[in-house]
Amino acid sequence: MKKLGLLLLAMMISLSSCGGDNAKKAKESADQAVEATKDAASEAGDAVKEAAEKTADVAEEAAEKTADAAKEVVDTAKEAVSGVDGKTVFMNNGCIACHQVDKKTVGPSLKTIAASYVDKKDDMVKFLKGEGKAIVDPAQFAVMQPNLNTTKNMNDADLSALVDYMLSVK
Ligand code: HEC
């Protein structure tokens, strides 16, 4: 707006002036007007650039926040699954492939295993940590053994929930 005022002023001066140097004054005014327009254009360009940079910053920040929030939701869900639901641990680690609830397949049924471990939760935890002996079907232990690599590496919460589930099957 200031630039526009200058421009008007310059035009008024050029219009109202009289005498021999009218042409020279008009040229000066015109030059000033061109300069003022150039300045205004460059200022506007800077403002647009600045606004675009700010928008990019805000967008980037928002994207980061969204990613963080999504990660948190996934972590919470994982925690809920591993900490609470032993059945999910059992299913997710492929145990169901050999252990059905009440019929023998490749491995003994969950009912058979639970019957052998009544009041022996600690013993089953030890077995799954690779620190105990097979008591259900020792002759077939070689088939079960590779799975101990999975259960050995579980955290205590997962392992405890898993054993609780296996013992809960009656
Ligand atoms: C490839 C088939 C197979 C898979 C998969 C499998 N098991 Fe077994 N499991 C067996 C067999 C066979 C036995 C019987 C041998 C034995 O008693 O150690 C057994 C026995 C067991 C026993 C009883 C151990 C004892 O004292 O005799 C437990 C507990 C057990 N499995 C837990 C699991 C868990 C937990 C998983 C999943 C991480 C799993 N199994 C996956 C085949 C399997």
Higher pLDDT, 78 or 138: 138
Average pLDDT over residues 64-91: 71
For residues 92 and 73, membership in a common domain is answered with: no
For residues 143 and 101, membership in a common domain is answered with: yes
> 13 lies in a domain?
no
Taking only the tens place, the pLDDT of each residue in 99-146 is 999 999 999 999 999 999 999 999 999 999 999 999 999 999 999 999
Taking only the tens place, the pLDDT of each residue in 34-73 is 788 788 778 877 887 888 888 788 888 887 887 777 755 6
Ligand 1: which atom is nearest the Cα of residue 133? 26
> 14 lies in a domain?
no
Q: What's the total number of domains in the chain?
A: 2
Q: What are the backbone angles phi and psi of residue 99, rounded to the nearest 5°?
A: -120, 105
**Alpha-carbon distances, residue 154 vs 82, 158, 161 (angstroms):** 10, 6, 11
Question: With a threshold of 0.85, does the pTM exceed it?
Answer: no
Q: What pLDDT shows up at residue 13? A: 47
> 161 lies in a domain?
yes
Taking residue 164's Cβ as centre, other Cβ atoms within 10 Å add up to 15
Count helices and strands (H / E) in the chain: 8, 0
CATH code for the domain of 162: 1.10.760.10
For residues 79 and 149, membership in a common domain is answered with: no
* Residue 109 in contact with ligand 1 by CB distance below 6 A: no
3-17, 35-49, 76-90: which is most confident: 35-49
Cα–Cα dist 10/133, whole Å: 101
For residues 92 and 129, membership in a common domain is answered with: yes
* Residue 93 in contact with ligand 1 by CB distance below 6 A: yes
The domain of 76 spans 2-7+23-84
* Residue 150 in contact with ligand 1 by CB distance below 6 A: yes
> 131 lies in a domain?
yes
> Measured in angstroms, how far is the CA atom of residue 67 from the centroid of ligand 1?
39
Where is the domain boundary, 84, 110, 131?
84
Taking only the tens place, the pLDDT of each residue in 19-35 is 557 778 778 877 887 78
